[in-house]
Amino acid sequence: RASSSPPPLLLERAPSFARRSILPRPSTTQPPARTMQSTLARPASLARSSATLSSSATHRGVGLAVTSPAPRLARRGANRGVVKVRAEASEKNLEVMRKFSEQYAKGSGTYFCMDKSVTAVVIQGLAEHKDTLGSPLCPCRHYDDKEAEVKSGFWNCPCVPMRERKECHCMLFLTEDNDFVGDEQTITIDEVVELSEGMM
């Protein structure tokens, strides 16, 4: 059977750039064992990588799903620094408005909301308005001109509707027939700070 290799003399006389076309090319019908082995091994490694990515993505997805609706305690911890600064900035008026709220509730025969975070947030808002405006303007309403509202006095706590009809827009002072009334007329400064964290 004739050899598939070209004669030596032809190789010597052929230019260097042509020798590549003269030399027999290795058969591509069946790759060498090592090449075949690596070809077979590659999909497995890719599959492992895909599985890792899928697992990582799933893990992250679950993590987000779990931590996104974080419990209230976690939110407090995350926002503690910011809220602490706000509380310290109005520490004096925060205590003034806390005492006022207790005294007015007892004097008017009203009670705080069953959810005391409502009470805490309103007291915090009143204290901040007292800091910035000089008067405890109702924090539960929108005003085009807060300074003008303070001078008017209508919405300075206790507002006119509260004084005349015991109607508190903020739900700070609730009558016994209110669906959301609680049974307390006192709240500590710690409760005010803690329950209003992350909500202002």
Q: pLDDT tens, 149-176?
A: 999 999 999 999 999 999 999 999 999 9
Predicted pLDDT at 199: 72
140 catalytic, yes or no? yes
pLDDT at 131: 95
Average pLDDT of the chain, as a whole number = 72
3-state secondary structure 157-169: CCCHHHHHHCCCC
User: What does the alpha-carbon distance between residue 127 and residue 93 come to, in Å, rounded to a whole number?
Assistant: 5
Furthest CA-CA distance within the chain: 121
**Residue among 138, 140, 159, 170 flagged as catalytic:** 140
Residue ranges of alpha helices (H) inside the chain are 8-13, 16-22, 33-67, 72-89, 91-108, 116-133, 146-152, 160-165, 189-196
Cα–Cα distance for residue pair 195/180, rounded to 1 Å: 17
Report CA dihedral (94, 95, 97, 102) to the nearest 10 degrees. Answer: 140
